[in-house]
Amino acid sequence: MSTTLVTGGTGYIGSWVVKQLLETGHTVRITARDINKTSKYSHLTDIANASSGSLEIWEADLMEEGSFDDAAKGCDGIIHVASPFILKVEDAQRDLVNPAVKGTKNVLAAASKSGTVKKVVLTSSVNSVLGDSIDMKNQNLEEFNEAHWNTTSSVSHQPYSFSKVQAEKVAWQIADAQNGWELVVINPAFVLGPTLTKSSASESLTVMGDMLKGKFRTGVAELYFGFVDVRDVAKAHVLALETDAAKGRHIISERVMNLLDMGNIIGGAFPGKYKLPKRLAPKYIMYLFGWAFGVTTNFVKLNVGYPIKLNSSKGREELGLQYLKVEDTIKDMVNQMEEMNMV
């Protein structure tokens, strides 16, 4: 089987990518800023010991030029997952955009220098496709698909989304300027599902934790998101790596729903157990109190009350991806968070 470098392999999505590769016999290389901090990847060594594949640990840093060169040598493919997913930052350019862009440049440079890498799979986001929910109305669209790009995010408005746009655009520019390897991009919607490591700092776990702890019990804003299981996102990466026909971008989403729908699914699976939202909060309330939930008035104006549609058929048709139902995703996630005392 092939040798694959997975950046961000210790994280929420990356750990599942590594697990699936190991279980199908791949040699997997992961990177850590400090290989002496074994607690960051001990869950992966345990998986490797029970799998047919093998795991190698290499030291690298997204912000250090040439840092991934040695790890990439001899690899057949790279899955580049590593990129900060933080919604509250002091300096968006420094904490989000720079690591996302520079990290992508460093990893793709390593692919070119390796002489062996034939395919790079990049973790982007559906936020690279659309910026604000109102975009669908403003652009007279019936749905978003892979041909669309987010043109409304910036360092000051939706900076995380902006970081994903900038990183993906840089990746395509680099890929188009060479012919040694092929780029395939995965654009996941909001990711939910169980984690392989309690140390994960994913915002997905934070949002679910806030929901279960009753932060939204008085009501939630009418915000629409695509949702998808973390295991399916990982599977999409592996399929993109292994499928010769895989080309371009891929929106990965099981369905679109709002946060009240999410709360109702939790309530149906765990009746009476949590203080969940029972209604949608009026938009004017979000204007007044959105700051308490970390959202600006501009975000409220451009997103609350605007439904979206995502066309995720390419993942099904080109990659052969079959989605887990969001109901099962949420049930598995809540059960695990209870077992791990995360709520």
Q: What is the model's pLDDT at position 201? A: 67
Given this model, what pLDDT does residue 204 score? Answer: 87
8 touches 81 (CB < 8 A): yes
pLDDT computed for residue 1 by the predictor: 61
Query: Roughly how many angstroms between the first and final C-alpha of the chain, as a whole number?
Result: 40
Q: From CA 193, how far away is CA 252, in angstroms rounded?
A: 14
Look at residues 56, 35, 46 and name the one whose alpha carbon lies nearest to residue 197: 46
- Listed residue (39, 41, 95) closest to 63, CA to CA: 95
Question: Domains of the chain (ranges plus CATH)?
Answer: 3-336 (3.40.50.720)
Predicted confidence at residue 85, as pLDDT, reads 76
What local confidence, expressed as pLDDT, does residue 287 receive? 85
pLDDT for the residue 295 = 82
pTM for the full predicted model: 0.95
Distances (CA, A) of 98 to 104, 142, 159, 234: 10, 33, 11, 25
* Residue 21 vs residues 5, 24, 46, 341: alpha-carbon distances, Å: 10, 5, 14, 29
The tens place of each residue's pLDDT in the chain, 343 residues long, gives: 699 999 999 999 999 999 999 999 999 999 999 999 999 999 999 999 999 999 999 999 999 999 999 999 999 999 999 987 777 788 999 999 999 999 999 999 999 999 999 999 999 999 999 999 999 999 999 999 999 999 999 999 999 999 999 999 999 999 999 999 999 999 999 999 999 987 766 788 889 999 999 999 999 999 999 999 999 999 999 999 999 999 999 999 999 999 999 999 999 999 999 999 999 999 988 888 777 777 889 999 999 999 999 999 999 999 999 999 999 999 999 999 999 888 8
Query: How is residue 280 annotated by DSSP?
Result: B
Residue 159 is encoded by which pair of tokens?
């900076």
Q: How far apart are CA 120 and CA 134, in angstroms?
A: 32
CB 170 within 8 Å of CB 151: no
Using a 10 angstrom Cβ sphere, with 0-12 exposed, 13-18 middle and 19 or more buried, the burial of residue 341 is exposed
| Alpha-carbon gap, residue 178 to 120, rounded angstroms | 13
Q: Which residues are catalytic?
A: 164
Dihedral sign from CA coordinates of 304, 305, 309, 315? positive
